[in-house]
């Protein structure tokens, strides 16, 4: 096991009640691998976007997250904590992942984008080590992905796990295990992945991915593929556009029969946020803020115009100006 990895995750203060699930799945994956892995966490205490119900509760959340991120992994012998840092300035997932790729691409062979609402397959490092050893000389620039749940349109079908892809998409469904709104446990994920006898790996063209669990070779980042600074909020579309533009023929090795879980609708994802206690659904909570829809729309426009010389990128200043104008 020669491949060197870095895996990084941004943890918002309000994700204190879900981060342990991600960390426990990561621990299982680290236990399977005897090579070198750098584990990186940034814990964010900023309240510019979401405000906590009290300063006392905010401190409890941060303390809880720090304890989980450090304490739950101390028994794993193969890891090297590159950084567990706490910051209180506005710092989005796009900011974190941009800095993560820039910081570690010269130190490791493969970079993995963790996420607080994800469950990592326990096979993560072992199968990626195998893949890298096979392709590092022939196609050193590549990205890789694992199978995902059933998605809302056919453009995602190439990425769907083989046991999920033929299931129907049911809007607002929380009961069926293949659905977006279903919250899956690590044990349920393991049942799918433990069935594997032979890996089913395909090359996806054109590139298609979301940011959760994305795997990027360091050579890809060295070629310039990273999240542009114009993407101030949402990261995955901008990164995909950069990959299309710079390395359109770069392979995307996709493990069709290894499942990664993205519990994007986890009911505990947004805990202790002021004025959200009476709102049940996670998307409704986020959309109830005055900033989300504006920032989301501005970031989509930025993503679509990365290579447009006539476009000036929107920033957070534009978001605040828009909100103040409408108020």
Q: Please check whether residues 194 and 55 belong to one and the same domain.
A: yes
* CA pair distance 116, 100, nearest whole angstrom: 15
Q: Please check whether residues 67 and 118 belong to one and the same domain.
A: yes
Q: What CATH number corresponds to the domain at position 177?
A: 3.90.550
- Among candidates 30, 191, 222, 15, which has minimal Cα distance to 107? 222
* CA pair distance 303, 297, nearest whole angstrom: 10
Q: Please check whether residues 306 and 269 belong to one and the same domain.
A: no
The pLDDT tens digits of the residues spanning 166-184 come to 999 999 899 999 999 999 9
DSSP symbols for 172-187: T--SSTTSTT----HH
**Can you give the pLDDT at residue 234?**
85
pLDDT band at 70 (very low <50, low <70, confident <90, very high): confident
Q: Please check whether residues 17 and 135 belong to one and the same domain.
A: yes
The average confidence (pLDDT) of the chain is 93
Q: Please check whether residues 318 and 267 belong to one and the same domain.
A: no
Q: Please check whether residues 135 and 280 belong to one and the same domain.
A: yes
Q: Please check whether residues 236 and 323 belong to one and the same domain.
A: no
Q: Cα torsion at 16, 173, 25, 41 (round to 10°)?
A: -40
Strand partners, 203: 253
Q: Please check whether residues 136 and 279 belong to one and the same domain.
A: yes
Range of the domain at 69: 5-284
Q: Please check whether residues 175 and 239 belong to one and the same domain.
A: yes
Say if residues 113 and 97 touch (Cβ distance below 8 Å): yes
Phi, psi of 53 (to 5 degrees): -65, -20
Q: Please check whether residues 95 and 228 belong to one and the same domain.
A: yes
Say if residues 238 and 305 touch (Cβ distance below 8 Å): no
Q: Please check whether residues 168 and 93 belong to one and the same domain.
A: yes
Q: Please check whether residues 260 and 298 belong to one and the same domain.
A: no
* Count of the separate structural domains present in the chain: 2
Say if residues 8 and 104 touch (Cβ distance below 8 Å): yes
Predicted model pTM: 0.95
**Can you give the pLDDT at residue 75?**
47
- Among candidates 101, 53, 91, which has minimal Cα distance to 239? 101
The pLDDT tens digits of the residues spanning 260-293 come to 999 998 999 999 999 888 877 777 777 788 899 9
Strand partners, 41: 9, 84
């Amino acid at each position: 096991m020669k491949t060197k990895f870095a895996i990084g995750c941004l943890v918002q203060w309000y994700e204190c009640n879900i981060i342990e699930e991600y960390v426990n799945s990561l621990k299982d994956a680290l236990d399977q691998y005897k090579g070198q892995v750098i584990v990186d966490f940034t814990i964010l205490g900023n309240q510019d976007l979401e405000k906590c119900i009290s300063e006392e509760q905010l401190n409890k959340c941060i303390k809880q997250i720090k304890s989980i991120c450090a304490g739950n992994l101390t028994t794993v012998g193969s890891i090297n904590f590159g950084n567990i840092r706490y910051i209180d300035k506005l710092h989005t997932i796009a900011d974190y992942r941009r800095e993560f790729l820039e910081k570690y691409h010269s130190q490791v062979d493969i970079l993995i984008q963790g996420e607080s609402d994800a469950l990592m397959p326990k096979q993560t490092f072992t199968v990626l080590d195998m893949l890298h050893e096979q392709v590092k000389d022939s196609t050193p620039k590549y990205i890789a992905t694992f199978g995902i749940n059933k998605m809302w349109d056919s453009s995602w079908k190439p990425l769907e796990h083989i046991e999920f892809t033929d299931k129907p998409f049911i809007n607002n469904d929380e009961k069926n295990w293949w659905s977006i709104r279903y919250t899956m446990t690590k044990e349920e994920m393991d049942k799918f992945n433990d069935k594997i006898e032979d890996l089913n790996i395909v090359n996806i063209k054109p590139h298609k991915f979301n940011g959760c669990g994305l795997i990027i070779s360091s050579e890809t980042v060295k070629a310039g593929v990273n999240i542009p600074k114009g993407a101030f909020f949402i990261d995955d579309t901008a990164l995909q556009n950069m990959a299309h533009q710079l390395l359109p023929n770069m392979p995307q090795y996709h493990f069709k029969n290894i499942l990664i879980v993205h519990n994007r609708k986890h009911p505990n994802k947004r805990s202790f946020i002021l004025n959200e206690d009476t709102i049940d659904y996670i998307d409704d909570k986020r959309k109830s803020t005055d900033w989300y829809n504006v920032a989301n729309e501005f970031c989509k426009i930025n993503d679509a115009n990365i290579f447009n010389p006539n476009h000036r990128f929107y920033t957070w200043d534009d978001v605040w100006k828009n909100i103040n104008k409408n108020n």
